[in-house]
Amino acid sequence: MATIKIKLKKSLIGRTPAQRKTIQALGLRKISHVVEHEDNAAIRGMIAKVQHMVEVVE
If one counts the domains in the chain, the total is 1
The CATH number covering residue 19 comes to: 3.30.1390.20
Region of 54 (left: φ > 0; alpha: ψ -120 to 50; beta: rest) is beta
Mean pLDDT score, 18-39: 97
State mean pLDDT over 7-24.
Answer: 97
User: Strands 54-57, 34-38: parallel, antiparallel or unpaired by DSSP?
Assistant: unpaired
CB 31 within 8 A of CB 3: no
Entry pTM: 0.92
- In the predicted structure, residue 26 carries a pLDDT above the cut 80: yes
Average pLDDT over residues 18-24: 98
**Which range marks the domain in which residue 48 is found?**
3-57
Beta bridge partners of 57: 5
